[in-house]
Amino acid sequence: MTCFYLIIYQLNSLKLDQKTKTLIKRAKVARLATVDQKSHPYVVPVVFVFHENSFFIPLDEKTKSVNPKKLKRVKNIGRNPNVTLLIDKYQNDWEKLFFLMIHGKAVIVDSKNSKIMNKVHKLLISKYPQYKKIGVGNSCIKITPHGITHWGHSN
């Protein structure tokens, strides 16, 4: 028998079940949604790590047309810190689909928070070996979740 499930966490303290933690750890890409100055959604694919109940998205050293701190997602967060991070998995076998929709507040953290940044850098390099060549960068987006919607299809 197959079934769909929908779990909604309203978070005062983040207590995720082991299956959700495993889905987060295994996911390599997510989509970050912010809101621009005209109240339009702005969505970009991102890499991330999960550490101490927060999600960290690097503002890395990949080639960009602007300084990382001038990226549209960073400007949007400066105006409105409410964000959504979507982690999903699509397969042709629809019994293996899932998504996690994380609602939270975002801030930019940088080398001033050296202890947390050192740990986040290590986690990012471990998860994404490409960062050994291009560099993680000196700042990242930190998302503190206040709610998670989790949907999936399981056997």
Q: Which domains does the chain have, with CATH numbers?
A: 3-145 (2.30.110.10)
Q: How large is the average pLDDT for residues 125-133? A: 93
- How do residues 58-109 score in pLDDT, each as one tens digit? 997 666 666 777 899 999 999 999 999 999 988 788 877 888 999 999 999 9
d(CA 87, CA 46): 10
Which pLDDT belongs to residue 14? 61
Say how far apart CA 94 and CA 62 lie, in whole Å: 34
Please give the distance of CA 77 from its chain centroid, rounded to a whole number.
14
User: 155: pLDDT confidence band, cut at 50, 70 and 90?
Assistant: very low
For residue 58, what are the contacts with CB-CB under 8 A and spacing of at least 6?
47, 120, 124, 131, 136, 137, 140
More confident residue, 91 or 31: 31
Does pLDDT of 6 surpass 60? no
Structure tokens given for 127: 């998860």
> For residue 1, is pLDDT > 50?
no
Model confidence at 154: pLDDT above 80? no
**What's the rounded Cα separation, in Å, for the pair 20 and 74?**
27
Mean pLDDT of 126-138: 89
pTM of the predicted model as reported, rounded to 2 decimal places: 0.86
- Calculated CA dihedral for residues 55, 58, 59, 64, nearest 10 degrees: -120
In percent, how much of the chain has pLDDT > 70? 85
C-alpha 102/C-alpha 118 separation (Å) is 24
How far is residue 111's CA from residue 89's CA, in Å, rounded to a whole number? Answer: 33
Give the least confident one: 10-19, 98-107, 134-143: 10-19
Greater confidence (51 vs 15) lies with 51
